[in-house]
Structure 1
């Protein structure tokens, strides 16, 4: 059995990231959410596009108002009203001001905005009751971004805030990496689909759906190939189909040492190079990792197909995916190196944690942030069996019990692998 960190390092070393030319495509801004940029984004627009007001008030010349006070206000003539979207028509002269609203263009001659709370208006005149700072409440053209500079760098996964920025600078076509294609198949004569009547001894194939959901969350495109019976020829045909169409293949079951565990021998028959057969982790000890040479149909010669033979137990499959598959998908997708590794946080355990100490153990539960702003981890109820999928619902973290540790007392600080967003506690 390989140590967890060694297995993780081997897997990342096998991944060949997407190529900026061969694996890029152009998408509309409306379809760019969740995509990874393959090239820098620039804009020919300054941001802000012009000097504008950050508040409702009056556009003035600082020299006219720098010495005013409530006792000795300055009185200015109002020569124009400037709402947002209006091009000012009058240049401000000494003794003049323009009424201006938030976001509106600054008029020529004005360099400062006095907010309306510090003024008093009487018909066509405004009394400035307090001296502002020079250039107060003026957002200058290009202060946030200058045209021609790098707006967003390659490797960024586009979220709502990036989409807002791109819309604001009118970047409507984007070069992104294509989504990784991930084939998913389940092995086992005992498996049935969720819509089939369940007979004694049968098990519903939840792995197909869970892994497809995880792949989608990670930005990939899942290809669900269904259930494959425990027959070598059927399995060989299914794996051949999977490596022909996908960048990564995930199979569940058939990688242990049982009489019907054929995956490893079929991989060898198909010309795969096996790199990992088991990892010192609990749950998830049986883990096969292999690579296939690039299929002949591929436009990107030289890139191999990465194969993960995951355990059949549902929790083991999920844990293996979070710990080993997710980093591989992140690297393949074009994300930067700092985003490849799983995210661990330090938290205080609210329960005793136990393990046999022989393997790195992951115990699932809820990670939250208390009112003091520190992380706390609450162990999920029920049995922590690798087959107990029910107890995995609503969890968002995996507490790590290192090799050699059999007991971590309640209240101790632990490492927690994030599998979702932390919750608020209290």
Structure 2
């Protein structure tokens, strides 16, 4: 049985990221939200595109106003009004100024902008009441970015700021990594779909839906393959189908040591190389991870996840998420889970023999993280207590209790709630 750190390292070492040439596609900017950039982006434009004003005010020559004051204002002739989007028509000469608005192009001859609060207009002239700093409120051309330089690097997720940059750079098409395909299999004779009436002993297959959502949130394409009964031939056929069509396979159940747990022997018969067979983690001990070669010689990752809902999601958040992120082409520093230190609002307990993950809500109160333990007991089959989970408190091996108010490491699985 491997430690959590050992299992994480082994899993990540087994992941081969998508190929920068073979596993990419060109998409429209309008479809790029959440995608991972595959190629570096440059622009032919300077940012700003031209010298422009950062304030509403007056464009002047610094030498005309450098010594003025409220007692001895500089009196300048207004020769032009320049709104944003307007091409200036005149050059500012000695003793002149142009009325200018935020974002407007700076006219020739001007090198400084006087904010309107420091000026007093009188018909076609303006009195400058306070001496400015040189080049005040002027955004110089290329001061933000110079044309031809790297603009965005590959391996980043394209969210609102990056999409805005690409739009401003007139990059309407871009090359991104394709989304990893993740097949999802639920095993067990006791499972039924949510639309079926329950018979005694049956359980609704919630894992299929939870995992499909998890995969989509990770930027992958979920490929739900449904429920497979505990029949070796049927299960083998479904696993073979999954390997042929996906980059990652997630199956739930059938990885323990029960009489109806067939996953390991089927994977062995298919030539799987087992990397992880069990992990010293609670919940999630029977986690299996193996690698297989598909017909196209791709390396397929197979995760045999425990069937209990809490154990399924905990192992996904802790082990599967970094693997999918690395596979997807995301830059290295972004792969692992995010941990924060938080004050616990309740006493936390574990058996101490395995690294234990307790789910609940991570809150941010006046800049301090706090962890609120979920109610209802921490049973790996208690799906109801998982609702609204945003953090997993981590109790290392050997630590059996964390008193109220003490600091605990928390794995962040959602946005913390602001108290």
- TM-score tier, shorter chain, comes to over 0.9
What is residue 233 of structure 1 aligned with on the other side?
A: 233
Structure 1 position 199, deviation (Å): 1.6
- Give the TM-score, by structure 1 length: 0.97
Task: Determine the structure 2 residue equivalent to 1:374.
Answer: 368
Deviations 1:296-349 (A, max 9, x none): 2x3xx4x31000000000010000000000000111011122111111111111
Asked if 1:417 corresponds to 2:411, the answer is yes
Q: Provide the secondary structure at the position in 1 that maps to 2:408.
A: strand
The alignment status of 1:113 with 2:113, answered yes or no, reads yes
Per-residue CA shift, 1:256-276, capped at 9, x if unaligned? 111111000011111111121
Scaled by the length of structure 2, the TM-score of the pair is 0.99
Q: Out of 382, 388, 392, which is 1:398 matched to?
A: 392
What is the total number of aligned residue pairs between the two structures?
A: 419
1:364 matched residue in structure 2: 359
> Matched residues in 2 for 1:395 and 1:231: separation?
35
Unmatched runs of 5 consecutive residues or more in structure 2: none
Look up the match of 2:244: 244
Following TM superposition, by how much is the alpha carbon of 1:25 offset from its aligned partner in structure 2, in angstroms?
1.0
Within 2, Cα distance between the matches of 1:194 and 1:80?
71
Residue pairs, 1:62-101, within 5 angstroms: 62-101=62-101
Secondary structure of residue in 1 paired with 2:226:
strand
Secondary structure at 1:256's aligned position in 2? coil
How far residue 106 of structure 1 moved from its aligned partner, in angstroms, is 0.2
How far apart in 2 are the matches of 1:85 and 1:28?
Answer: 27
Correspondence for 1:342: 337
1:408 has 2:399 as partner? no
Cα distance in structure 2, aligned partners of 1:198 and 1:206: 13
- Asked whether 1:182 is paired with 2:182, we answer yes
1:423 Cα deviation after fit = 1.4
> Partner of 1:333 in structure 2?
328
Q: For 1:133-282, list aligned pairs within 5 A.
A: 133-282=133-282
Q: Distance in 2 between matches of 1:112 and 1:133?
A: 8
Q: CA RMSD in A?
A: 0.8
Deviation at 1:368, TM superposition (A): 1.2
- Aligned partners of 1:126, 1:19: CA distance in 2, in Å? 62
Query: Aligned equivalents of 1:57 and 1:270: distance in 2?
Result: 74
CA shift, 1:200, in A, is 1.6
**What secondary structure does 1:286 align onto?**
coil
C-alpha distance after superposition, 1:265-294 (max 9, x if no partner):
01111111112111110001111111111x
Does residue 1:323 correspond to 2:318, yes or no?
yes
2:179, 2:318 → 1: CA distance? 20
| Structure 1 segments of 4+ aligned residues over 6 angstroms from their partners | none
Aligned residue among 373, 386, 389 for 2:383: 389
